[in-house]
Amino acid sequence: MQQIPVLNRQTLTYEQLAKTIDHSLLRPELTEADVVAGCELAERYHVASVCVKPCHVALAVRLLQGSDVAVGTVIGFPHGAHTTATKVFEAADALAGGAVELDMVINIGELRAGHHDAVLNDIKAVVDAARGKAIVKVILENAYLTDEQKAAACRLAESAGADFVKTSTGFAPGGATLADLRLMRASVSPHIQVKAAGGVRTLDAALDAIDAGATRIGATATAAILDEFQKRLRG
C-alpha cells in the first residue's frame, strides 16, 4: 500500500510541493518538441510526474530515464466512453512503453445511468492490468456529476482497487473545486489519494487544493506555481 504524503500548508517545503505536481502535457496540439521542453521543465523542477499523451510515453520515458520524475499517461481519455477491452489494451500498451502511472476516465454515462457494476468492472479491469506495474488514478469528470454520483464513483474506484480518485480531465466545462475535493476526500478511505486537476493555475489555488485533501495536482502552470513558492520562501 502506498504511503500517503502528510502535507501541511504552514510547513510545506519546496520538495513536498513539487512532488504533488503532475506536469500535464495533454493538449491535442502539443508536438514532440513541446513534450521534450515539458519533460525538461519537469526534471528541472523535480515534480512528481509528467502526464503525456499515449503516443509520447516512450519519448518521455527515454527523456526522463534516471531522473526522479515518473512518466504517466491517460486511458480512455478524455470522454471515458471507450470499451473496457480498449482501455485494457491502452493500459497494456502504456505499460509496455514504460509508463508507471495511469490516469483513466470512468464511463461517465454508465455512472449517470446508475450502472454501478459496469463502472466498477471497467475500473477494475484497468487496475488488474496495471497491478504491480503502475498506479491508477480514476478520473470522475465531476462537471457532469451530482454530489451523490461523485461520492458513488469514489466508492467504486476504491472497491476496484484504484490508488487515486481525480476530479477532472481538464477538458470538461469545469475542473477542480474545493467542495469537490473535500467531498472526494470524505468519500474514500485514508489510503486512497485525491488528485485535483483542471484550473489549478496559481500557487494559492494549489495550496487551497492541498488544504482540501489533494496530494497530487495536475498542472500546466507548473513553473509559475513553483517559482512563486520559492519567491515567497525568500520573503
Residue 1 is predicted with a pLDDT of 56
Direct distance between the N- and C-terminal alpha carbons of the chain, in angstroms, rounded to an integer? 38
Catalytic residue check, 195: yes
Place of cell 497491478: 131
Each residue's pLDDT tens digit, 144-189: 999 999 999 999 999 999 999 999 999 999 999 999 999 999 999 9
The C-alpha atoms of residue 71 and residue 60 are separated, in whole angstroms, by 7
Q: Which of 19, 124, 150, 195 is catalytic?
A: 195
Catalytic residue check, 53: no
Count of alpha carbons within 13 angstroms of residue 99, beta-carbon side: 28
- DSSP 8-state symbol, 132: T
Q: Which of 103, 122, 163, 180 is catalytic?
A: 103
Residue 25 is predicted with a pLDDT of 98
Is the pLDDT at 86 greater than 60? The verdict is yes
> What percent of the chain has pLDDT above 70?
99
| Cβ atoms 202, 226 nearer than 8 A | no
Indicate if the alpha-carbon torsion angle 203, 208, 37, 64 is positive or negative: positive
Residue 2 is predicted with a pLDDT of 64
> What percent of the chain has pLDDT above 90?
94
Q: Sketch out the chain's domains with CATH numbers.
A: 14-234 (3.20.20.70)
* pTM, full prediction: 0.96
Catalytic residue check, 22: no
Q: Which of 87, 150, 166, 180 is catalytic?
A: 166
